[in-house]
Structure formats: structure tokens, C-alpha cells
Chains A and B, each alone.
Chain A
Amino acid sequence: MAKDLEKKLKQFRNKPLHSKEWSDSLERKIILYTKDNPIPDSVTKELKSSRQRQRVTDGSSFLEQPTFRGMFYQLRLSSLGMKMTLALGLILALVGGVGAAAEAAVPSEPLYSWKVNVNERARSAITVGAQNQAEYEVKLMQKRLGELAKVSVQAEVDAQAQTEATVRFGAQQDKVQARIESLENESNTRVALEINSRAAATLEANAELLSGLRLRIPPVANRGLETAIDSIVSARDRIEARASGLEARFRSEVQARGEAMLVVEARERVQAGESRVNMATRIADEAATQNALTIEIRGQLRDAQNALIRAQEALERENHFQAITEAQVAVEAALEIESKIKARLQAADQVKDLLRIGDQLDIEAEGETEAELDLDLEIDSEVESEIENELNLGNQLFIGS
């Protein structure tokens, strides 16, 4: 029978099974999508000049890939006046790069509205499925976190920009919560749990990184930073408060299922756990080679691997409930690891930006030129080594396998 099946399957090798109508329609959609979302020229140039390539062995990791750092540097709207800012925006619009240029904008900047109302809405519109939409909202939350961090350490904190950034972050965090609730209401508790884990890990990683900047940023900017940290920590606490309720509901849903369903689900979940933990392990290994793996994340990886082993053993013993619940623990831990590393990578670019802004604040405060000033920041050695790790991480293009 095995040979029969092999022969049967081989017969389909060169046989097209799709309809031409559908494939033509999809091709038109893809052409339109690539035109509406072009690869920015600067990204192509930077890739060529840096000769950095990614060997991709795990396609789904791209969902967690941090936004390429080049896009953050495309539009370096430092301390230019509004006229220069608007002129730059016009030039970019003329060469057709408005969409790409807008990606680096923060609240109060001219292109920010384009970023939020055009770029992000377009992407949201083509995101299909409740889970994908929830994941996209978490990605947007990471973006709002970056914007909040950036505006919070401006020299004279632009109160309006910070208020807007805080409001937008809060609104985005509410959207994430709403997606989680919606998934829960659709009895998609497992996915709700996973999205919750991602969101909590993203917030925690950002709070940690910003806290690490306290000693690096001059006092004048500290107030803005503290406000940002408070917002993030409150959001994290709210999200974490949901976790135990979701876990309890998940367990009771699994317990209520019939044995036949449990058998199938147990296999699927253990397989999903293997896939997720393998991915998290590869991402963590890569981060480790760049000195970007914290002790906490290492510990979480061990927990994920142990949970997976327990799930596999439970499956062999045909204890399907335990296999499912342990596999879920493994998946969530793996998602947290991915989210934290990703948040740290994205935040690493922000940290560099923030450090540059922090240096600039000192220079302006002293009233001397950058060339003349000999910066003398007193930094705790432990914080310095952590920041160095972040900078080294930011200097490398993250390779997700």
C-alpha cells in the first residue's frame, strides 16, 4: 500500500490543480500589492553595501522579524526646523517615497498621519483572520512604544507630541486587549492566550530597556522617560492580569472535549510546540552569538524546552490533556522569547537613537559644538555593559533562522 500511495502521489507532481481564473486573479492582486507596498530603494542599497544576507530556514519567523533598521534611518528628522521638515517631506513625496519615508515618523511630525492613516490601514485591510489581525495589532503596539520612547526624551519635551504618543499607545494597547477579548469570545482561547503572552512580553522588554536608559539620559529628559515607563508598566500589568483567567478557561475547555478530539488536538499541539520551541531556540542561539541573550531569556528557553519534553512524554503515555496543556506552556514560553528578543532588537535601534538624542541634549545644554565638547557621562558599569550589548545587537542585522 505504501508503494501504491507513493505512485499515486507522484502522478500529481506535474499536474496543475488550481483554476486559471483564481491564479490570474491572485496574480493581479499581488502586482497591486507590490506596487502599493514597494521595497524602498534605500533598503536595497543598504543591503547591497552591507553584504548582509539572511538564510531563512523558518519562514514564519519573518512575522517576528524586527523592522529593518534602515527604515528607521531613512528619515532622520533630528532637530531641523519645521520648514526643513516640510521641504524634506515634499521632496520624498515627489520621488514617490512618501509611504516608506513615513515609517520613521513620530507624533507631531508631518508624515506621521500618512504612516498611521495610509500605510498601517492598508496593511490592516489585507490582514486576514482574527489571529493575524491580533498579531498585527501587537506589532503596531511595538511601533507605538518606539514612538513614545522617542518623543519622551526630546530636549524640551514636546508636550503635544508626548501626549499624542501616549494616547496613541494607550489606544493601541486597548485594541490589542479588544482583539484578545474577541478571540476569547469566539472560543479561540488558545490563540487569545498566545497573543496575550506576546503582548505582555513586548511590553516587559520595552519597560526594561527604557528603565536601563535612566542613567544615560540627562535629568532634563528624565521626566518624559518616566512618564513613558509608567504607561508601559501599567499596560503590562493589565495584560498580565488577564493571563490567569485565560489559562483557566483554556484548561476547562480542553477538559470538556471528547477523547477523539483530544487525541487529534494533542498531536497537533505537540507538533506546534516542537515547531515554536525549535524556532525560539534558533532565534535565541543567534541572539546569543551577538551577546544579546539575557539570563532571563535563557531561563525561559530552558522552561520552554522542558515543557515540550513533558508534552512529548505525555503524548507517548496517551495522557492527551497533559500533552495539550504542556504543549501550550511550551508555545507561550517560545512566543514570549521571540517577542522579547524582537522587542529588544527594535528597541536597540531606538536605544541608539535615544543615546544620540541624549548626547545632543548635553551638547545643547552646555552651549558648545559637538566637535568641541568632551562628553563626560558618569555611567554605572553594569548599565554600560548592558547598553553596549544593546548597541552591538543594533549594529547587526538580525538573522532569524
Chain B
Amino acid sequence: MNEGQGKKFVAVYRQYFPKIYKYCLFRLNSKEDAEDLTEQTFLRTWDYLIQGNEIENFRAFLFRVAHNQVIDLYSKREIDRKHSEPLINQEGRERDLPDETDLLADNQEKELYQEAQEELDQLKPEYREVMILYYVEDLDLSEIAEILGLTEGNVRVRLHRARNKLKEAMR
């Protein structure tokens, strides 16, 4: 049994779970979903390792797994929405307003978070994602490209279009 590997993985978890959780939270705006997807991200990564695979870039790998799970959850959510009437914006994202900001210390931070989410809601999902990865997670373009399976050029274009879209929304 390889306990050393297990301990190393727990260290990886401690290092990266805040980022993965934050990414999921910004993308889904749901604490429960973010917690669930973060858990699944790390468990699946361990499953990948016990199959004998190696991971060179843990950060990119974890984000990639989280990204794919978000896509799947989005798809499922569109079907589930038929059976409920949550708050939705024009992009179709659910918005759970009170709980998500429980962890933010003061009202100013809560307000900041809500404003950020409202502005992100103006964007297409693919633009929203690069904004989150670039500005919140502070990843560079090459890593974002690796995570999303795009070229750096594509990522640059999406960031550019996201900014243009936000400018148009102001007019």
C-alpha cells in the first residue's frame, strides 16, 4: 500500500481546494453545488492516479476536471429547471442570493460579490469562465488554454470579447 502517495495527495488537496471551490462557486453561484463539485473533483483525480496515471500539472488538471463537471451540471440544470421556479437571469443561471455570501465578512464584501456576479451574468458562459480563471484565479493564458482545451489565441479573443460585451452593456 502506498500511504506516502495518499499523504501527498492530501497536501495537494490543501493547496488547491480553495481555488477549485472558488472557481465552482463563481461559475455556479451555489454553495452546495460548489461543495459537491469540489469534492467530486478531488475524488476523481485520486481515481485517475490509482489507475496508474501521472499528473504533471495538478493545478491545470484539477481545474479541467472541475470545468467539465460544471458543464455537465449546467446541462442537467436546464432540465431540472422545468420542475422548479428559481430566480434566473437572462443567461439562465440560478441565483441563490443569501447563502452564498454568508462567508463574506462585511456587507461591503457581500455587495461586491453580488455586483460581480450580476456583471458576470451579462456574459456568455465561455466568456464568464475565462474572466473567472484570469481575474479571480490569476491563471496565465497558457494554463487557461490548457484547462479549456483551447489555444492561447482563443483565450485572448474570449477575454477581449468579454470586455467588449461589458462595455456595450454600459451604453
Binding site for B on A (CB under 8 A): 1-2, 4-6, 8-13, 15-19, 22-23, 26-27, 29-31, 33-35, 37-41, 43-44, 46-47, 53-60, 62-63, 65, 67-71, 96-97, 123, 126, 128, 131-132, 187-188, 190-191, 260-261, 264-265, 267-269, 271-272, 275, 278-279, 282, 397
Chain A nearest Cβ from B110, distance in angstroms: 11
Docked pose: A37 CA to B26 CA in angstroms: 31
Docked pose: A319 CA to B86 CA in angstroms: 27
Asked if residues B54 and A54 are in contact (CB atoms below 8 Å), the reply is yes
Asked if residues B48 and A65 are in contact (CB atoms below 8 Å), the reply is yes
B34-53 interface bits toward A, Cβ cutoff 8 Å, 1 = contact, 0 = none? 01101110111111111111
Closest to B77 in A: A268
Asked if residues A187 and B82 are in contact (CB atoms below 8 Å), the reply is yes
25 contacts between A and B (CB under 8 A): A2-B167, A5-B116, A5-B135, A8-B112, A12-B136, A15-B109, A17-B103, A18-B103, A23-B21, A26-B35, A30-B42, A33-B43, A34-B10, A37-B46, A39-B52, A40-B1, A41-B1, A54-B54, A55-B57, A59-B66, A62-B45, A68-B53, A126-B43, A261-B81, A268-B74
Asked if residues B104 and A17 are in contact (CB atoms below 8 Å), the reply is yes
Chain B nearest Cβ from A164, distance in angstroms: 26
Task: Let me know if B27 is at the binding interface, CB within 8 A.
Answer: no
A residues less than 8 Å from B148 (CB atoms): 275
Q: Known interface pairs A6-B135, A22-B35. Does A37 touch B50 (Cβ–Cβ under 8 Å)?
A: yes
Task: Let me know if B141 is at the binding interface, CB within 8 A.
Answer: no
Asked if residues B64 and A58 are in contact (CB atoms below 8 Å), the reply is yes
A residues less than 8 Å from B36 (CB atoms): 128
Interface centre among A59, A128, A188 (most CB of B within 10 A): A59
Task: Let me know if B96 is at the binding interface, CB within 8 A.
Answer: no
Docked pose: A282 CA to B151 CA in angstroms: 13
B residues less than 8 Å from A43 (CB atoms): 50, 52
Per a CB cutoff under 8 Å, which of B13, B61, B149 touches A275?
Answer: B149
Asked if residues A60 and B13 are in contact (CB atoms below 8 Å), the reply is no
Docked pose: A151 CA to B124 CA in angstroms: 52
Asked if residues B44 and A9 are in contact (CB atoms below 8 Å), the reply is no
Docked pose: A264 CA to B92 CA in angstroms: 6
A residues less than 8 Å from B9 (CB atoms): 30, 34
Asked if residues A38 and B42 are in contact (CB atoms below 8 Å), the reply is no
Per a CB cutoff under 8 Å, which of A5, A16, A41, A57 touches B149?
Answer: A57
Docked pose: A56 CA to B149 CA in angstroms: 11
Chain B nearest Cβ from A110, distance in angstroms: 20
Docked pose: A12 CA to B119 CA in angstroms: 15
Q: Using a Cβ–Cβ cut-off of 8 Å, how many residues does chain B contribute to the interface with A?
A: 86
Interface centre among B40, B51, B57, B124 (most CB of A within 10 A): B51
Q: Known interface pairs A54-B53, A60-B68. Does A261 touch B60 (Cβ–Cβ under 8 Å)?
A: no
Asked if residues A1 and B131 are in contact (CB atoms below 8 Å), the reply is no
B residues less than 8 Å from A40 (CB atoms): 1-2, 50
B residues less than 8 Å from A128 (CB atoms): 36, 40
Asked if residues A55 and B149 are in contact (CB atoms below 8 Å), the reply is no
Per a CB cutoff under 8 Å, which of B2, B25, B43 touches A39?
Answer: B2
Chain B nearest Cβ from A111, distance in angstroms: 16
Task: Let me know if B6 is at the binding interface, CB within 8 A.
Answer: yes
Docked pose: A191 CA to B91 CA in angstroms: 22
Docked pose: A69 CA to B60 CA in angstroms: 25
Asked if residues B65 and A60 are in contact (CB atoms below 8 Å), the reply is yes
Docked pose: A53 CA to B56 CA in angstroms: 8
Docked pose: A58 CA to B167 CA in angstroms: 32
Docked pose: A342 CA to B35 CA in angstroms: 30
A residues less than 8 Å from B120 (CB atoms): 5
Asked if residues A44 and B75 are in contact (CB atoms below 8 Å), the reply is no
Closest to B131 in A: A9
Closest to B119 in A: A5
A residues less than 8 Å from B74 (CB atoms): 268
Asked if residues B136 and A18 are in contact (CB atoms below 8 Å), the reply is no
A residues less than 8 Å from B135 (CB atoms): 5-6, 9-10, 13
Docked pose: A283 CA to B64 CA in angstroms: 16
Chain B nearest Cβ from A255, distance in angstroms: 14
Per a CB cutoff under 8 Å, which of A18, A30, A188, A260 touches B76?
Answer: A188
Docked pose: A31 CA to B74 CA in angstroms: 29
A residues less than 8 Å from B157 (CB atoms): none
User: Other than the known A17-B103, A30-B10, what 13 A-B pairs have Cβ atoms closer than 8 Å?
Assistant: A5-B116, A13-B137, A26-B35, A39-B5, A47-B52, A56-B55, A60-B68, A62-B53, A268-B71, A268-B125, A271-B71, A271-B125, A271-B126
Asked if residues A272 and B71 are in contact (CB atoms below 8 Å), the reply is yes
Task: Let me know if B169 is at the binding interface, CB within 8 A.
Answer: yes
Q: Known interface pairs A5-B119, A17-B22. Does A59 touch B6 (Cβ–Cβ under 8 Å)?
A: no
Q: Known interface pairs A39-B5, A60-B68, A126-B43. Does A8 touch B51 (Cβ–Cβ under 8 Å)?
A: no
